[in-house]
């Protein structure tokens, strides 16, 4: 009898405790502390979020390299997905002037050593970042269907009434063209026939559309167009070496990322792209 009563009392107490537990939730299992693995995962996510911050780079590039550099940009996104590249294409002289006047720029790729020299003398190029990157050549082009013009000597004949070239004071291709024509004793005599372009791509366009009979551009520009033909190449000793230097702009707010991009331009991946577009490497 006594055992039966104790058993009943225990059952009643257990039931009462269960009701109390459900009512107050005081019997809920305590939450286990965060495991070391989970803590590490959270820390890694936080670190990743910090290190994946996008860096915006503005790259000023000579017009003659724009097609190759667009391909380089695609390749670089795989290499550095957190770098957002914005290109500013134009004549090297105009781009150098913009940088000199304080235009926000991280990297400058020039078609002329002269403009890079000027910026370097002004302290506008980060010390130690400059390097010679590419080589090119100067060629004479005509519209694809023109079979009459075959040599530089034709410039002084009636076969050529309009000859396009870059503006020598601001367009490196124009300066090289002036040097070549001067070396051939033609430049002064050709003044009435000359049509000047704001950059080498405008000169190419003049020839493609037939607005001029011939033009002087880089070999790489002629290579990308199926509307023009190369008639002759200017002898290398008639003009200065066509070298493309590149460097980080001293006022860049992202100098480290800018230098990383410059370094990539000499990588096997970039070299292959430049060569596909007709450039030779300077180094």
- Condensed to tens digits (0 to 9), the pLDDT of residues 196-221 reads 999 999 999 999 999 999 999 999 99
In angstroms, rounded to a whole number, what is the distance separating the alpha carbons of residues 200 and 215?
10
For 92-185, where are the alpha helices, taking DSSP H only? Answer: 92-100, 113-121, 172-183
Query: pLDDT by residue (tens digit) across 119-129?
Result: 999 999 999 99
Binding residues: 64, 92, 173, 200, 218
For the chain, helix (H) and strand (E) counts, in that order, are: 10, 11
The residue among 21 and 189 whose pLDDT is bigger is 189
CA distance 209 to 74: 30
Tell me the residue length of the chain: 283
Edge-to-edge, what's the strand order for the sheet holding 55-62?
83-90, 55-62, 107-109, 243-248, 131-135, 280-281
- State the DSSP string of 240-270: ---EEEEEEBTT-TTHHHHHHHHHHTTSHHH
Q: How would you label 235-256 residue by residue, b for 16+ Cβ within 10 Å and e otherwise?
A: eeebbeebbbbbbbbbebebbe
Q: Which domains does the chain have, with CATH numbers?
A: 53-135+242-281 (3.40.190.10), 138-238 (3.40.190.10)
Residue set of the binding site for molybdate: 64, 92, 173, 200, 218
pLDDT in tens, 75-120: 999 999 999 999 999 999 999 999 999 999 999 999 999 999 999 9
Q: What's the pLDDT at 53?
A: 84
Map residue 67 onto helix, strand or coil.
helix
E runs forming strands in the chain? 55-62, 83-90, 107-109, 131-135, 138-143, 163-166, 194-197, 214-218, 228-233, 243-248, 280-281
pLDDT score of 109: 98
| pLDDT at residue 206 in the model | 98
Beta bridge partners of 163: 194, 214
pLDDT over 80 (residue 46): no
């Amino acid at each position: 009898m006594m055992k039966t009563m104790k058993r009943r009392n225990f059952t009643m107490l257990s039931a009462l405790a269960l009701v109390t537990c459900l009512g107050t939730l005081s019997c809920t299992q305590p939450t286990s502390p965060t495991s070391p693995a989970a803590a590490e995962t959270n820390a890694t996510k936080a670190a990743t979020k910090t290190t994946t911050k996008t860096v915006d780079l503005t790259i000023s590039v000579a017009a003659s390299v724009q097609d190759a550099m667009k391909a380089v940009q695609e390749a670089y996104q795989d290499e550095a997905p957190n770098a957002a590249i914005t290109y500013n294409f134009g004549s090297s002289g105009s781009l150098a002037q913009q940088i000199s006047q304080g235009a926000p720029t991280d990297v400058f790729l020039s078609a002329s050593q002269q403009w890079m020299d000027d910026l370097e003398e002004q302290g506008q190029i980060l010390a130690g970042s400059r390097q010679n990157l590419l080589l090119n050549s100067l060629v004479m082009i005509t519209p694809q269907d023109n079979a009459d013009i075959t040599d530089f000597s034709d410039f002084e004949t009636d076969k050529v009434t309009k000859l396009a070239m870059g503006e020598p004071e601001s367009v490196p291709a124009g300066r090289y063209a002036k040097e070549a024509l001067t070396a051939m004793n033609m430049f002064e005599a050709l003044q009435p026939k000359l049509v000047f372009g704001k950059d080498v791509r405008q000169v190419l366009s003049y020839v493609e559309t037939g607005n001029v009979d011939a033009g002087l551009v880089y070999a790489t520009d002629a290579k990308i167009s199926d509307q023009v033909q190369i008639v002759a190449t200017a002898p290398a000793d008639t003009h200065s070496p066509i070298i493309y230097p590149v460097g980080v702009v001293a006022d860049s707010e992202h100098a480290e990322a800018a230098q990383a991009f410059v370094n990539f331009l000499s990588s096997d991946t970039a070299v292959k792209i430049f060569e596909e577009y007709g450039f030779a490497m300077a180094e």
